[in-house]
Structures are given as C-alpha cells and as structure tokens.
C-alpha cells in the first residue's frame, strides 16, 4: 500500500469563471472533450497508487457529486478507505457557514477525518488544476529530501488569477512566498503539497488556535523559518483554471499534439466517468480538422479548432471554429459560430451567427437556445 | 432466489470462419463498430429487456472474453442476486468433458439454471448484431402457452436454403423445421434465439443427453425432438436489423451498415443503448490535414491522414499521408505515413508500415475480396497485400 493519502479541495468560488459555474463548482467544469477538471487530480492520485482520497466540499456541489459518484471510475469504491466526500458541517458547525476562508479552515472543519487517515503522509491538492503528474515521484522526492513540506512548482507560468509564487533558495528551499503579486517572481506554485499526517494535524491545530486560515499565507509564508519547506520543480504542463479566458486558452492548448499527448499519456491515463456513447459519425461532406471530438457526435458541417464533447450535433452547412461545445450542444443548419464556449444542451438555431473574440470568448449558459 | 426468466448465452464457438481474427479469441470477443465487441449486443439486449441473470457458456479461448466481461458492471449486470456468470466446462466426480454441442452446454449447467428456478430460459448466441427486446418475445411465449418460441425473420427466397427454415400455420405455430433445406417451403429463417419453458426444456435436454446418436445441438436435435413430440412451438416474427457476423464478409458488411442510414442498424438512438467496456482514452483527435468523411471515429483515434467510408476503433491511428477507404481498423491499429488501405479488416494492434499497400478497390476482376490482417501483425514498410489475401502475425500470407 502506498503511504500517501489524498485530500482535494473544492470550495473556492472563482467568480472569474462566470457562466461556467452557474450550475457547478470549478471542479466539475467539463474540460478537454470528455473530462471534468477534477478527473485530472483524481487520476493522478490513482496512478500514484493512492487508494484513499477525501474531497473537501463547499458550494453548489450537486454536479460534482453526480460526477464522482462512489469513486468507481478511479477504482476508489473500496471496502476500506476509497473515496470519501467531506461536505461542510461533516464534523462540527463551527466552520463553513459562509464558505471556507482558506485551506487550513477547511481542514479544521474535517479534523476528525484527518485523525483517522491510515497513511503517514498526505498530499493536498486543488481541483482546478489541469496536470498529469507522477505524484509517486513527488512523494519519493519528499522522503529523500527530508523536508517538512514539499510544494510542487513550475517555471512555466501561464497567466492565472490569484496565483501563488515561490522564490527558491539553495536546495530548492522556499525562501519567500508571494500571494497574487502584481509582478510574478520565482516559480509558480501549483498548490500541491505533501507533508506528514502528524505535521498536518499540528498545523491545523496551531492555525485554528490563532484564527489563521490560509495555507499559503499562514503556513508557507509565515512558517518559512521554522519549517523546512522545499519545492519540487515540475517540468510538464500544468494550468490552474480560474477565469473564462484561462479556461478557453487551456482548452485551445489541448489541440496542440504535444499537449494532447502529454495529458493523455498511456502510462498515466486520465479517467473520466463512462458516457456509454456510440462512436462519432462524420458525414461525407463535412470538414473536421484540428479538433478533439468525443463520442456520440454527429458532425455534418465544418468544424475547425474545436473541442467537442459527447453527443454534439453540427448540422450540414453550419460552421464552428475556435470553439468549445459541451455535451449535447446542437448547431443547426447554416449557423456560424466562433470563439464560443457553449455549455451543456445549448442550441444554436438555424442560420444563427454567434461570435466572441479570441481575447474575450463568449460563454453561453447551460440549456440556452439562441 | 427465484427468477421468472434468465438468459443463457452460447459463447463457446471458435468462429473458425473468421480465420485469423479468432486465432486467439472467441468470436463473441471480436471487436465491432469502433468501440464494441460482438457480445455487447446480446448482453445489452438482456439488460435493456430487464433480464438480470445471464449465464455465458465459454469454451474456446476464453481469456479475452472473461476479462472483457469481468464483473459485468458495464452492462449493469454486477448484481448480488443474479448478474452475469461465466460458465466454462468443468470436472465432476464422474469425469470431465468439453461441451459437446449447444444443447450439451446447457445440459451441463442444469444446476446453474435450477439455482434460479426460472419459468423461462432465453437461449442466445454470441455472434449476432441486432437490437431486440427479449421481454416482448417472452410475453408472446407466455401468451401462447408455448413450450418453445423461436425468433424468425423473413429472408429473400433465394437465400432461404442457407438458414434453418420454419414452416408455420395461420397462427404462427411451427409445423415443420428444416436445417438448410435445398427446396425451402417457407422463407422464415431461425435467428438462433429461443425462449423455452424451463420445465420442458429440462426434460428434453436430459432425454437428448441419453440419446447416444444425438449431436446435442439445439437446431439439429432439440427442436426436431420437441416438434416430433407434439409440443406447442411458435414463431416470433422479428423485422428489425439482424446480422450473423460469423464470416469475414458479413463482419465487414455489418460494420459498413453502421455508416449506411438505410441499413436499419442505428446505434445512435438512445432508447436501446448498447453498452461496452471501454478504455479511458481521450477524445478522437483529427489533425490539421485530416480528411475524414463518412466514417466513424471514437476515443483515442488520431487521424492525421485520410479516412473514407471506414470504421476507426479505439486508439487507432492514421498518420499523415496515409489513406484508409472502406475499411475497419480494429482497436489500436496503426496505419503509418503514406500507407494505403482499401476494403480491408485490420486486426487489433496491427501496424501497417510506411507506404505499404493493403487491399484494393473492387475492379471487377475475378478473385477480388476483402483483405484481412490478423491481430498484432507488424506489416513491414512498402509491403503489398493483395485483395482477398489474409496475413497473420507470423507473416503467413494466404488467399482467403
């Protein structure tokens, strides 16, 4: 058994995601043609041999619950351990009335769960991160370095709302932590942390006693002198999704074969809930290029530079470019669509014209007819 | 616990007429339609019809099939009470024997059926592509008070001599049965789908086993014996899409039917879904220069070249400059740059080398036919495999 336990946070509201979070948490936003964002972290954990994972929740999480179910998709439907959903007030009513102010507060809210963790080490991660990372390797690095806390950082910063940065000193020791700085400095912190269960419990208690709630401010930054905090520098692709623009840009990145291959490497597959769709049919006169197309679609029009989710219909004569079409979107005859993110079940009527701009993609709410 | 109706699925056959495709797996495990396997059709029909207990009788090369069925979860057949059960031949106190025939396979599992004490048993084969509501057939069986109901469909008179043919009276009572008759008296062909009243079936299975001259086969022995004994047997008419995919040509045909709206094989309608165990691959990626037309693609496909009138299965790849026409790429097949594939069935995990040429478009010449490459074959660069030829993993090339 792997000595790591997973905790995934899904409580941040991220207002920059606008229409995309009207009916869901950022964790369950569809991404990459068949995934939900949380699938990446759950699969990373599964691929590292982690069997026990808790998801700390707050907000409109119904869609997330529907998606993760009993955890079967990630082989986490187990007799002992497995996937555990940790809703607010799971433990006591002290925290969570208006949402959590930070990770340490969210953890204090599930303290009795933390006590029962069977493993000696815990990996904390957010649910808004697109990444395919070997967490087992991060764990090994943590043990080898003897650090108190290891945080995963990257040198490849992509513009992200409310980003955290770590300035590194000798031996990758974190010298300084910057929270949402005007000017990025050092490495972009991906907010994946590994530490021992014992230290985690101690930190939760210490922070609680002083009404401190932020991991990055009250632990990473404030305890830099007392604790050995080191960075694991990750060289692959990673992106936090916190605004519609970030969502759109990262979706379009998926159309680069290099990105597509890295995120879907057969060695560490990303698993998504089975959709039971039939294969996709591409009609004789359609042109379908540079696009990701999920199952169950019927493509009769022209599709270029798009990410297309299951069950989408693009009728003859319709043109869709540079767009993301969620599950069950219908684009009727001769409609012209570009720079659009169409949420689940959107219908774009015959002859309709809809255009956002590369700098401001248009997000259309779930179920709308245009 | 008692069940009103259970299903027994005959999945032990080798499917020798699929040649290289079934060298290492039983016919029901052969991939179909991009992301399915043949057995998904009867299993999905069972779960959609509300039959939650299915015995799958296996014998030939069962590994692939066993691991594919697993717990039965993809078909919602992982049940505490019932569910899907793999039933291989077994050893007993009096000795061990292989399944001698279709009827013997069920005879050897009378104990399994008795465990559920069913009123009716549906007997299915694992080599047909169709969507059918067995609960409707069972209802017809009950209503008629029959001992056995056989699903039939009208076939063109010219082809009737290839099938088991039923003659019926005005109320669709079966009066005569003839296996592949030279001069057919009817054009109602048996689809190899039966509903039996279990108490009757049990009697006839035991009597058949005690007859040393019997081949222990449903079509050859059980059905004629029941007719001879004057049991009430009725024909259940089916008019939807149904195809036996026991030959390479019919397997290719049925895959192509997925692309033809007029064929009646509609896998898109959601009323009667076909389930399958699928891989966790990402969505299909169609590259900048891909030209994909009138084809199906599915998860894991990467198409940088051209595909026309083809079925591309999970994780199949068409590299830039390669062309695939009127062909089936089974899961994991790779067509390298510049290769040309036409009118072919390319097995699982095959690699077609650069600039190789596999099969050809029908030119009216004598001896033309579908070209087949067996699973896991690595076809060298520039290799040419003529129409109607078949190549296996060991690079043995034969004319079909």
Q: What is the mean pLDDT of chain B?
A: 94
CA distance A178 to A167: 8
The answer to whether residue B284 neighbours chain A at the CB level (below 8 Å) is yes
Confidence of residue B242 (pLDDT cuts 50, 70, 90): very high
For the stretch B88-115, pLDDT in tens is: 998 888 888 889 999 999 999 999 999 9
CA distance A279 to A22: 30
Chain A residues near residue B296 by CB distance under 8 angstroms: 279-282
Please name the residues in contact with A329: beta carbons below 8 A apart, sequence gap of 6 or more: A309, A312, A313, A342, A344, A345, A346, A347, A348
For the stretch A245-254, pLDDT in tens is: 999 999 999 9
Its pTM stands at 0.93
CA distance A339 to A320: 9
Helix, coil or strand: residue B190: strand
Confidence of residue A1 (pLDDT cuts 50, 70, 90): very low
CA distance B101 to B221: 10
pLDDT at A83 over 90: yes
Which of B77, B282, B305 to probe the A interface (max A CBs under 10 A)? B282
pLDDT at A91 over 80: no
For the stretch B340-349, pLDDT in tens is: 999 999 999 9
CA distance A118 to A107: 16
Please state, in angstroms and as integers, the Cα–Cα distance from residue B109 to each residue in A67, B63, B113, following that order. 40, 20, 7
Average pLDDT over residues B200-209: 97
Instruction: Please tell me the predicted confidence (pLDDT) of residue B61.
Output: 87
Please name the residues in contact with A328: beta carbons below 8 A apart, sequence gap of 6 or more: A309, A310, A311, A312, A344, A345
Instruction: Please tell me the predicted confidence (pLDDT) of residue A15.
Output: 86
> Does the distance separating the beta carbons of B281 and A269 come in below 8 Å?
yes
The alpha-carbon gap from A206 to the nearest alpha carbon of chain B, in Å, equals 42
Q: What is the mean pLDDT of chain A?
A: 93
**Minimal Cα distance from A274: which residue of B?**
B278
| Residue A364 φ then ψ, to 5° | -115, 130
Helix, coil or strand: residue A88: coil
The answer to whether residue B34 neighbours chain A at the CB level (below 8 Å) is yes
Q: The tokens of B391 are what? A: 């190549």
CA distance B208 to B103: 8
| Residue A363 φ then ψ, to 5° | -100, 130
Helix, coil or strand: residue A279: coil
CA distance B190 to B311: 29
The answer to whether residue B281 neighbours chain A at the CB level (below 8 Å) is yes
pLDDT at A93 over 80: no
In percent, the amount of chain A with pLDDT more than 90 equals 84
pLDDT at A339 over 80: yes
Instruction: Please tell me the predicted confidence (pLDDT) of residue A99.
Output: 82
CA distance B2 to B198: 13
The H or E element spanning position A44 is helix A37-47
Instruction: Please tell me the predicted confidence (pLDDT) of residue B363.
Output: 86
For the stretch A257-275, pLDDT in tens is: 889 889 888 899 999 998 8
Helix, coil or strand: residue A238: strand
Residue A154, beta-bridge partner list: A188, A234
Beta strands at B323-325 and B95-96: parallel, antiparallel or unpaired: unpaired
Instruction: Please tell me the predicted confidence (pLDDT) of residue A346.
Output: 97
Residue pair B222/B204 in contact (Cβ under 8 Å)? The answer is yes
- E runs forming strands in A149-271: 149-154, 164-168, 174-179, 187-196, 229-234, 238-240
Which of A43, A72, A282 to probe the B interface (max B CBs under 10 A)? A282
For the stretch B176-194, pLDDT in tens is: 999 889 999 999 999 999 9
For the stretch A148-195, pLDDT in tens is: 999 999 999 888 999 999 999 999 999 999 999 999 999 999 999 999
Alpha carbon B24 to chain centroid, angstroms? 16
For the stretch B57-87, pLDDT in tens is: 999 888 989 999 999 999 999 999 999 999 9
The answer to whether residue B285 neighbours chain A at the CB level (below 8 Å) is yes
Please name the residues in contact with B115: beta carbons below 8 A apart, sequence gap of 6 or more: none
Average pLDDT over residues A26-42: 96
Q: The tokens of B318 are what? A: 């068409």
For the stretch A55-74, pLDDT in tens is: 999 888 899 999 999 999 99
pLDDT at B5 over 90: yes
């Amino acid at each position: 058994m792997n000595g790591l336990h997973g905790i995934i946070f899904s409580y941040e509201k991220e207002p920059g995601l606008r229409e995309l979070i009207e009916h869901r948490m950022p964790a369950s936003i569809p991404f990459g043609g068949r995934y939900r964002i949380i699938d990446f972290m759950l699969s990373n954990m599964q691929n590292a041999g982690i069997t026990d994972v808790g998801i700390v929740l707050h907000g409109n999480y119904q869609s997330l619950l529907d998606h993760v179910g009993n955890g079967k998709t990630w082989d986490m439907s187990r007799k002992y351990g497995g996937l555990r959903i940790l809703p607010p007030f799971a433990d006591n009513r002290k925290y969570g009335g208006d949402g959590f102010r930070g990770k340490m507060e969210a953890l204090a809210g599930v303290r009795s769960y933390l006590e029962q963790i069977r493993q000696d080490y815990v990996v904390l991660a957010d649910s808004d991160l697109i990444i395919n990372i070997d967490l087992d390797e991060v764990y090994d690095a943590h043990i080898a370095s003897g650090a108190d806390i290891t945080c995963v950082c990257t040198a490849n910063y992509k513009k992200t709302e409310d980003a955290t940065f770590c300035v590194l000193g000798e031996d990758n020791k974190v010298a300084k932590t910057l929270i949402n700085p005007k000017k990025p400095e050092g490495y972009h912190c991906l907010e994946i942390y590994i530490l021992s269960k014992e230290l985690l419990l101690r930190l939760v208690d210490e922070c609680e006693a002083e009404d401190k709630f932020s991991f990055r401010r009250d632990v990473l930054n404030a305890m830099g002198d007392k604790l050995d905090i080191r960075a694991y520098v990750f060289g692959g692709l990673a992106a936090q999704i916190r605004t519609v623009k970030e969502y759109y840009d990262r979706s379009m990145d998926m159309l680069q074969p290099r990105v597509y291959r890295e995120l879907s490497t057969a060695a560490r597959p990303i698993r998504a809930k089975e959709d039971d769709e039939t294969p996709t049919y591409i009609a004789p006169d359609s042109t379908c290029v540079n696009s990701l197309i999920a199952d169950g679609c019927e493509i009769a029009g022209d599709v270029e530079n798009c990410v297309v989710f299951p069950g989408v219909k693009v009728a003859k004569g319709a043109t869709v470019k540079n767009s993301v079409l969620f599950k069950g979107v219908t684009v009727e005859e001769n409609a012209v669509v570009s720079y659009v993110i169409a949420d689940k079940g959107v219908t774009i009527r015959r002859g309709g014209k809809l255009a956002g701009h590369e700098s401001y993609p248009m997000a259309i709410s779930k179920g709308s007819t245009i | 616990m008692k069940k009103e109706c259970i299903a027994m699925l005959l999945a032990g056959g080798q499917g020798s007429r699929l040649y290289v495709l079934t060298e290492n797996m039983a016919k029901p495990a052969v991939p179909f339609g991009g992301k399915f396997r043949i057995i998904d059709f009867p299993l999905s029909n069972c779960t959609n019809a509300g039959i939650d207990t299915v015995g799958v009788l296996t014998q030939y090369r069962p590994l692939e099939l066993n691991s594919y069925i697993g717990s039965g979860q993809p078909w919602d057949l992982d049940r505490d009470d019932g569910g899907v059960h793999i039933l291989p031949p077994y050893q007993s106190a009096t000795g061990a024997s292989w399944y001698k025939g279709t009827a013997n396979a069920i005879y050897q599992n009378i104990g399994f059926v008795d465990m559920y004490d069913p009123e009716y048993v549906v007997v299915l084969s694992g080599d047909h592509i169709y969507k059918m509501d067995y609960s409707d057939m069972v209802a017809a069986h009950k209503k008629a008070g029959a001992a056995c109901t056989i699903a039939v469909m009208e076939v063109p008179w010219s082809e009737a001599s290839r099938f088991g043919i039923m003659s019926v009276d005005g109320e669709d009572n079966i009066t005569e049965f003839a296996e592949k008759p030279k001069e057919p008296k009817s054009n109602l062909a048996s689809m190899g789908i039966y509903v039996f009243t279990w108490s009757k079936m049990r009697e006839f299975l035991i009597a058949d086993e005690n007859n040393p001259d019997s081949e222990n086969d449903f079509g050859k022995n059980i059905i004629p014996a029941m007719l001879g004994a004057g049991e009430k047997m009725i024909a259940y008419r089916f008019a939807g899409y149904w195809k036996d995919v026991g030959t390479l040509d019919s397997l290719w045909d049925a895959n192509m039917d997925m692309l033809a709206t007029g064929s009646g094989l509609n896998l898109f309608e959601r009323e009667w879904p076909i389930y399958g165990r699928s891989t966790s691959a990402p969505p299909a990626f169609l590259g900048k220069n891909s030209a994909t037309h009138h084809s199906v693609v599915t998860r894991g496909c990467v198409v940088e070249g051209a595909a026309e009138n083809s079925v591309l299965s999970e994780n199949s790849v068409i590299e830039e400059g390669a062309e695939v026409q009127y062909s089936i790429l089974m899961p994991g097949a790779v067509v390298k740059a510049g290769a040309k594939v036409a009118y072919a069935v390319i097995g699982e995990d095959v690699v077609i080398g650069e600039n190789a040429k596999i099969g050809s478009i029908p030119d009216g010449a004598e001896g033309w036919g579908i070209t087949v490459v067996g699973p896991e074959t690595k076809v060298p660069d520039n290799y040419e495999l003529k129409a109607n030829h078949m190549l296996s993993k060991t690079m043995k090339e034969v004319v079909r």
